[in-house]
């Protein structure tokens, strides 16, 4: 199949229209011991390919005589085992996805580290000896709508990982601060993966009362517990053939963790109150904003479950570490607002610069909300730096006034409840909501008050305005641990 000048010398077909880049790559690859065939156009490449030349192809995307993505299916059908490495300066999520869908071995956003290129080349040539792992006939018409915005190096890494993961069923753990796009990434993994035709089902561990999580995950038979008046399918069953997104996995209670681990190990589950084992067919994607290794140390998360879920870790960077993306994100959100019927607006360059200096504790969600507010509140067609200044000053005032984030409690509760109602749609949440909610409020309230009073119950009772006996009962009921700190770390 390949043309060789000497034994074991591999030939690389190199397509790059920028002569300077082509020369550098040519020299580097030659020095590394490969034979290189450089060209600046696709028609020459096609000639080589049809003649069976080359052991590997490195190609740019946009070339003077066409687009490499359009030629790749033809190359793939005539030379199934020719590995292709795509390099591109159009560093968007869709470029990475298109490369993966066109059957590229890997995708390198420009500019790339030359050593990384050499490593990918050597890996590709080694893997080419083994049978191809990609299944045929899965080409999906991608929805050209770009779900993920941002071209920072940090996001490039994410896109590359996503492109590699798309055609697999590997379990993925997405870690990242609140509002960094964990759910959006989980959806993209599904939407562009081989399970796209199946359902995407999400369950948020933090939004469901602890004692109901197992029934939510696995469903329950009629009469399994009081109130179970009919058989109800669980999320595992609903996600059959698709993706199950386990959001806020760090909030999963220990019992449920044990059960989930068993299900993942055995590939089957039982409904609550059910006898029959049901086979699972879901791809698992989990997410958390918490430090799971720390939770493991504290005994609040099972280490074995962690390893099961953490097969591939995607760490989403906080927005403050990729301020280059702010410009693109703002443009994207302005466009969204316009599509949703708000008036079309633009933003000045110095307003963008101001946004890049802010620390974004709430990450992309916070930026999105800010842009929404700016569009709704200011009449001017162009958002100016002084508009931005006013809005940011309000946020920082709120934060510095309370030292931390002051969230309006009733807003937070409303959001929490909204999640619960949504989680039970089209039905209603189980009865006893009033007491459930009060209990959930009580535990952190008492625990923090105790902590603030260094474990002194008399002081705590006074601070809370509760009778001491009542406080003691509540501490016992919630099994709150009383921690006394020494002066030095108080
Ligand atoms: N790369 C991105 N491009 C465009 N929009 C984004 C991007 N990342 C996140 N967003 C938007 O920001 C908002 C927050 O994203 P998402 O809900 O996925 O974050 P999260 O990490 O799950 O947050 P939380 O931890 O609070 O649940 C969403 O409205 C989402 O559409
Ligand atoms: Mg989320």
What number does the ligand 1 atom closest to the CA of 368 have? 12
CATH 1.10.10.60 in the chain, residue ranges: 432-489
Q: Two tokens at 271?
A: 């409904």
How close is the Cα of 289 to the center of ligand 2, in Å? 9
Q: Is the CB of 148 under 6 A from ligand 1?
A: yes
Minimal-distance CA residue to ligand 1 atom 29: 365
Q: What pLDDT is stored for residue 338 in this prediction?
A: 83
In the predicted model, is pLDDT for residue 1 greater than 70?
A: no
Contacts of 254 (CB under 8 A, 6+ apart): 300, 302
Question: Residue 341 Cα, ligand 1 centroid: separation in angstroms?
Answer: 21
Domain 432-489 has CATH 1.10.10.60: yes
The answer to whether the predicted template modeling score (pTM) of the entire model surpasses 0.75 is: no
**For residues 46-78, b (16+ Cβ closer than 10 Å) or e, as one string?**
bebbeeebbbbbbbbbebeeeebbebbeebbee
The ligand 1 atom at the shortest distance from the C-alpha of residue 186 is: 18
Q: Write the DSSP string, 398-461.
A: HHHHHSS----HHHHHHHHHHHHHHHTTTS-PPS-HHHHHHHHHHHHHHHHHHHHTTT-HHHHH
CA distance 128 to 307: 30
Please work out whether the CB of residue 332 comes within 6 Å of at least one atom of ligand 1: yes
**Model confidence at 141, in pLDDT bands (50, 70, 90)?**
very low
Q: Does residue 184 line the site of ligand 1, with CB under 6 A?
A: yes
Task: Specify the CATH class of 170-315 in words.
Answer: alpha beta
Cβ distance 174 to 359 under 8 Å?
no
**For the residues of 467-483, what is the DSSP string, one character each?**
-HHHHHHHHHHTTPPP-
CATH of domain 320-402: 1.10.8.60
Question: Which pLDDT score, from 0 to 100, does residue 453 have?
Answer: 86
Residue nearest atom 25 of ligand 1, based on CA coordinates: 178
Protein residue whose Cα sits closest to atom 23 of ligand 1: 179
Q: What is the pLDDT of residue 194?
A: 87
Q: What angle do CA 101, 104, 106 make, to 5 degrees?
A: 115
Residue 296 CB neighbour total at 10 angstroms:
15
Which pLDDT band, with edges at 50, 70 and 90, does 398 fall under?
low
Question: For a pocket test of ligand 1, which of 364, 367, 416 has the largest count of ligand atoms closer than 8 A to its C-beta?
Answer: 364
Helix (H) or strand (E) holding 234: none
Which of these ranges, 39-48, 85-94, 440-449, has the smallest mean pLDDT? 440-449
- Which of 155, 172, 181 has the most ligand 1 atoms within 8 A of CB, as the residue to mutate? 181
Query: Residue with the nearest Cα to atom 28 of ligand 1?
Result: 365
439 vs 311 pLDDT, higher one: 311
What's the rounded Cα separation, in Å, for the pair 316 and 159? 11
Other beta carbons within 10 angstroms of residue 101's beta carbon come to: 21
Distance 213 CA to ligand 1 centre (A): 24
Model confidence at 402, in pLDDT bands (50, 70, 90)? low
Tell me the helix, strand and coil percentages in the chain, rounded to 5. 50, 15, 35
Rounded CA gap, 412 and 85, in Å? 48
Percent of the chain exceeding pLDDT 90 equals 59
Q: Determine contact, residues 355/197, Cβ cutoff 8 Å.
A: no
- What's the rounded Cα separation, in Å, for the pair 123 and 151? 26
The two three-digit tokens of residue 273, written as one number: 């109150």
Residue with tokens 């209603």: 428
272-318 pLDDT per residue, tens: 999 999 999 999 999 999 999 999 999 999 999 999 999 999 999 99
Q: What CATH code would you report for 11-129?
A: 3.40.50.2300
Spell out the residues 6+ positions from residue 375 whose beta carbon is closer than 8 angstroms to its own. Answer: 334, 337, 342, 343, 345, 383
**Would you state the pLDDT for residue 174?**
97
Closest CA to ligand 1's atom 13: 365
Q: Which atom of ligand 1 is nearest to the CA of 150?
A: 1
pLDDT for residue 407 is more than 60: no
- Whether residue 137 is predicted with pLDDT greater than 90 in this model: the reply is no
Instruction: Give the mean pLDDT of 97-123.
Output: 90
Establish whether residue 83 lines the binding site of ligand 1, counting it when its CB lies within 6 angstroms of any ligand atom: no
Helices H / strands E in the chain, number of each: 20, 18
Q: Which pLDDT belongs to residue 143? A: 41
pLDDT in tens, 334-390: 998 888 777 788 999 999 999 999 999 999 999 999 998 888 878 788 999 999 998
DSSP 90: -
CB of 181 shorter than 6 A to ligand 1: yes
Please state, in angstroms and as integers, the Cα–Cα distance from residue 168 to each residue in 2, 76, 179, 181, 204, following that order.
29, 19, 26, 21, 24
CA of 174 to the centre of ligand 1 (A): 12
- Give yes or no for a contact between 134 and 106, defined as CB atoms under 8 angstroms apart: no
Residue 339 is predicted with a pLDDT of 81
**CA 364 / ligand 1 centre spacing (Å):** 6
Query: Is the CB–ligand 1 distance for residue 318 below 6 Å?
Result: no
Q: What is the average pLDDT score of the chain?
A: 87
| Ranges of CATH 3.40.50.300 domains, the chain | 170-315
Every domain range in the chain assigned CATH 1.10.8.60: 320-402
CATH 3.40.50.2300 intervals, the chain: 11-129
Distance CA 218, CA 263 (A): 10
Residue 368 Cα, ligand 1 centroid: separation in angstroms? 9
């Amino acid at each position: 199949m390949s043309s060789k000048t000497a034994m074991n010398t591999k030939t690389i077909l190199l397509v790059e229209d920028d002569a300077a880049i082509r020369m550098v790559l040519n020299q580097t690859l030659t020095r590394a011991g490969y034979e290189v065939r450089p060209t600046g156009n696709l028609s020459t490449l096609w000639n080589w390919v049809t003649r069976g030349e080359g052991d590997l192809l490195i190609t740019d995307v946009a070339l003077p005589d066409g687009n490499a993505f359009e030629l790749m299916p033809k190359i793939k059908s005539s030379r199934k085992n020719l590995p292709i490495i795509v390099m591109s300066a159009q560093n968007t999520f869709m470029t990475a996805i298109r490369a993966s869908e066109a059957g590229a071995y890997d995708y390198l956003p420009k500019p790339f580290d030359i050593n990384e290129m050499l490593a990918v080349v050597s890996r590709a040539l080694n893997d080419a000896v083994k049978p191809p792992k990609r299944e045929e006939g899965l080409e999906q018409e991608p929805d050209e709508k770009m779900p993920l915005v941002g071209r920072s190096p940090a996001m490039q890494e994410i896109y590359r990982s996503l492109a590699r993961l798309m055609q697999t069923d590997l379990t993925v753990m997405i870690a990242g601060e609140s509002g960094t796009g964990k759910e959006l990434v989980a959806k993209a993994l599904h939407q562009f993966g081989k399970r796209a035709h199946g359902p995407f089902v999400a369950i948020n561990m933090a939004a469901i009362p602890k004692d109901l999580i197992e029934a939510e995950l696995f469903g329950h038979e009629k009469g399994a517990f009081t109130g179970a008046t009919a058989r109800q399918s669980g999320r595992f069953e609903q996600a059959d053939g698709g993706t199950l997104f386990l959001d806020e996995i760090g909030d999963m209670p220990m019992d449920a963790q044990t059960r989930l681990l068993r299900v993942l190990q055995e590939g089957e589950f039982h409904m609550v109150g059910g006898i029959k084992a049901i086979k699972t067919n879901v791809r698992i994607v989990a997410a958390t904003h918490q430090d799971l290794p720390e939770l493991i140390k504290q005994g609040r998360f099972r280490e074995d479950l962690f390893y099961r879920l953490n097969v591939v870790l995607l760490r989403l960077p906080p927005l403050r570490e990729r301020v280059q993306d702010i410009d693109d994100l703002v443009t994207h959100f302005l466009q969204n607002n316009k599509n949703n019927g708000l008036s079309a607006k633009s933003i000045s360059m110095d307003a963008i610069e101001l946004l890049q200096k802010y620390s974004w504790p709430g990450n992309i969600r916070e930026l999105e909300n800010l842009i929404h507010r700016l569009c709704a509140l200011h009449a001017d067609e162009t958002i100016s730096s002084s508009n931005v200044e006013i809005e940011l000053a309000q946020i920082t005032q709120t934060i510095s006034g309370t030292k931390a984030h002051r969230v309006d409690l009733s807003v937070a509760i409303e959001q929490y409840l909204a999640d619960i109602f949504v989680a039970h749609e089209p039905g209603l949440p189980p009865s006893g909501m009033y007491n459930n909610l009060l209990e959930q409020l009580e535990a952190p309230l008492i625990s923090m008050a105790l902590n603030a009073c260094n474990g002194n119950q008399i002081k705590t009772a006074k601070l809370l305005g509760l009778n001491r006996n009542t406080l003691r009962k509540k501490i016992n009921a919630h099994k709150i641990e009383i921690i006394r700190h020494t002066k030095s770390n108080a």
